[in-house]
Amino acid sequence: MEFSADRPTFFVNPDYRPMTGAAKPVIDPATLETVGAIAAAADGEIDAVLTAATKAQTAWKKLDAKSRARHLHAVANAIEAADFTRCAELMVREMGKPYPEAIGEIANCAPIFRYYAEMARDDAGKVAGTTQAGSFQYARYEPYGTSVHIMPYNFPILLMCWTVAASLAAGNACVIKPAEATTLSTLDYFKVFRSLPEGLISCLPGGAATAQALIASDRTHAVAFTGSVAAGKAVAVACAERMKPCVIEAGGSDPLIISQHAPLDVAAAGSVTAAFHLTGQVCTSAERFFVVDAIHDRFVDLFAEKTRTLRIGNGLDKTEIGPLVSEAARAKVMRLVDDAIRSGAKAVTGGRIPPAHNVGWFYEPTILTGITPDMTIVREECFGPVAAIYRVKDFDEAIELANDSPFGLGASVFTTDLAEAHEAAERLEAGMVWVNNPLIDNDALPFGGWKASGLGRELGRQGLDAFRRSKMVIIDHKPAIQDWWYPYPDSWFREAGGRKHV
């Protein structure tokens, strides 16, 4: 059967299959209209997926690197050739993302498959200096088996491709548990995987119970998760109980420092995107701003001026700011903003539901000044269109306050002072640091956080190694009896109180 948004389905390559569970409507966060229907996986559907994955992986792991790379390049070719209009529209209607961002995310995943297709051909095992003459001693890498990928709603396709490409390249089968909010667009995307061997990749809709069942199964062997800190900790604990490796990307509350040496026009423009991209629903969104006193007022004026030009509305229209993904998501943002204002902060822009958009889960891009370290908004991840600005006396205080957080995903700085740029890169407690260009990534560099923001890394060589295990191999090509084998010669023993000891 082919995919239809109106009936619940799951995917086991190359087929869509009907689901037996109760249908649940998918609601457009901009219009509150019904977009389609999804269901949670039943036990039989989970079993079917894992049975297919296990069978497929047995053959996949035996493929030579060149053949595996050819399959991944075929996926990249399918991505580049596909028309993703419907998929992008579904994503907009499911979670509110502006259409240009949806189509860009969906269409721009081919490079990651090409990167890992070639990365995996360079196995990068290690031949060690021998500890014994005549012995060949080296490390090799092998796949785990079947990997589980538990995805978020904000970048459901791109982040899936990051870990799926690496896992496939390493020789694993993949089972994807999409976010409930973006199940339809994720399922629609799976057509690009049809050139892969039968059963090697699957998409299994459901909620937390489905994720828990996949993690608990003896037929899964590694887990990749992106989501909240609380859920990430639960996944890490569940994996630890089973000695199952995991990669956890758990979000954060990223700092952004505006130095007195910052180019303010550039800094203000960049801050608008850093804070409000995808309505602030980006794990690496800048949420805590530290602006040096000497340029604070001028920066706030420029930042507010540029923020007021942003268009709010349905992601299918010409807009930069769509709705938040759900009523609960907006309620959290409103709670944090209202609490900050009660504690003395000032809303320079926003701080309210836009009057022209009283249907759907919209919230105005909000700039708060007068922020202090004790406010709840800087201790939690806001995950909404809010920039909370501290006034700091100098660059050193900005660094100190930026690090005063349980999170450590990314951090940004705007400065033209080379010494400050290097200081920031060295001293900021984060897995990623951006100077004058926030939020960008690179397929060849590791992506991930420190502290509560996660475990392990995606992308780069580390992203590949997350889905394979090492094996030490020792080969003596001329078998010989070794002098340290049993029994020990008498000369190795010493007398001690009438008894012999080794």
209-233 pLDDT, tens digit per residue, is 999 999 999 999 999 999 999 999 9
Among 66-80, 292-306, 453-467, 482-496, whose mean pLDDT is lowest? 482-496
Residue 501 reports pLDDT greater than 90: no
In this structure, the answer to whether residues 362 and 317 fall within a common structural domain is: yes
pLDDT at 322: 98
Residue ending a domain, among 435, 460, 487, is: 435
pLDDT band at 123 (very low <50, low <70, confident <90, very high): confident
Tokens, residue 42: 């039943």
What pLDDT is attached to residue 496? Answer: 52
The alpha carbons of the chain give a radius of gyration, in whole angstroms, of 26
193 and 145 housed in the same domain: yes
Q: What is the dihedral of CA 97, 100, 103, 104, to 10 degrees?
A: -110
Q: What is the pLDDT of residue 367?
A: 98
- Per-residue pLDDT tens digits for 182-217: 999 999 999 999 999 999 999 999 999 999 999 999
Reply yes or no on whether 249 is catalytic: yes
Cα distances (angstroms) measured from residue 303 to each of 54, 299, 324, 389, 470? 53, 6, 22, 11, 49
Is 499 part of any domain?
A: no
Q: What pLDDT sits at residue 178?
A: 98
Determine which one of 203, 283, 320, 364 is catalytic: 283
| Rounded CA separation 76/45 (Å) | 28
Catalytic residue of the set 45, 94, 105, 249: 249
Domain match, 320 and 183 both = no
Per-residue pLDDT of 161-180, as tens digits, reads: 999 999 999 999 999 999 99
Asked if residue 365 and residue 308 are part of one domain, the reply reads yes
In a domain, 3, yes or no: no
Question: Are residues 353 and 456 located together in one domain of the fold?
Answer: no
Average pLDDT, the chain: 96
Residue 129 in domain: yes
Residues 107 and 57 both lie in one domain:
yes
Rounded Cα distance between 224 and 233, Å, is 13
Domain count, the chain: 2
18 and 150 fall within a common domain = yes
Residue 312 structure tokens: 């709010």
Q: Give the model confidence (pLDDT) of 34-71 as tens digits.
A: 999 999 999 999 999 999 999 999 999 999 999 999 99
Count of all residues that appear for the chain in the document: 502
For residues 464 and 420, state if they share a domain.
Answer: no
Claim to verify: residue 58 and residue 179 sit in the same structural domain: yes
- CA angle 381–387–392, rounded 5-degree value: 105
**Which CATH number goes with the domain that contains 283?**
3.40.309.10
Same domain for 286 and 302: yes
98 within domain boundaries = yes
346 within some domain: yes
pLDDT tops 90 at residue 134: no
pLDDT in tens, 238-252: 999 999 999 999 989
Q: pTM above the 0.75 mark?
A: yes
Domain that holds residue 371: 254-435
Q: Does residue 243 form part of some domain?
A: yes
203: region left, alpha or beta (phi > 0 left; psi from -120 to 50 alpha)? beta
In a domain, 492, yes or no: no
For residue 308, the Cα-to-chain-centroid distance in whole angstroms is 30
Supply the pLDDT for residue 499. Answer: 53
Clarify whether residues 285 and 140 are in a common domain: no
8 Å CB contact between 265 and 436 = no
Average pLDDT over residues 113-128: 92
Report the CATH number at residue 203. 3.40.605.10
Same domain, 384 and 464: no
The predicted model gives 342-349 an average pLDDT of: 98
β-pairing verdict for 407-408 and 450-451: antiparallel
Report yes or no on 1 lying in a domain: no
Helix, strand, coil % over all residues of the chain, rounded to 5: 40, 20, 40
Average pLDDT over residues 337-354: 98
In the predicted structure, residue 155 carries a pLDDT above the cut 80: yes
